[in-house]
Amino acid sequence: MRNLAIFSQLLAKFEYLNNINVFTPKYLDSYLQKLFNQFFRFLKDGSIDEYEDEAEYAPSGCVSFLTIHQSKGLEFPVVIVDSLEAVPYRQDTELGVILEDNYYHHPPFEPLTEIKFFDFYRLFYTAFSRSQNLLVLTCLERQGRGKTPSKYFTDYFNDLPNWRSPWNM
């Protein structure tokens, strides 16, 4: 219900920003193109998320399922991290390269070729540092193409005790 309310507010904001009082056939196509190609894209790129009650992010007796980004700044007694098939990937755009090459007045803080690795490490540092008592790394192990865990996690994953093994504490 809250997400529908937020969506309705966003549509009202779009109507207000575009001075829309009544949809007419004459402008319907242009309004729809603006709505989807500009407004929704702007909201998506701005990372608008579903409703979250900041005061009660984890109600007592409930299990929270959060993305790594949603968990920033929070800690939990037990954290389970999947996605161990992940690998660093380039996120730069052609426009970003042009801007960096032609308009930056200082050398880049992180070399463009290394940013994908730094972003990858930051992401999983955030995921791994959320637990207070227990961090569980989990995946469906696969070999060959699409190997899981990926080479970036293999050494760490292999050093962990298997859940089927007796614990030597």
Query: pLDDT tens across 91-102, in order?
Result: 777 777 777 777
Percent of the residues in the chain that have a pLDDT greater than 90, as a whole number: 13
* Angstrom distance (rounded) from CA 142 to CA 37: 39
pTM metric for this prediction? 0.56
Q: Per-residue pLDDT tens for 37-66?
A: 777 777 767 666 655 565 655 667 777 788
pLDDT at 106: 75
Residue 168 has pLDDT above 60, yes or no: no
pLDDT at 54: 58
Q: What are the counts of helices (DSSP H) followed by strands (DSSP E) for the chain?
A: 6, 2
Domain boundaries defined on the chain? 2-45, 58-159
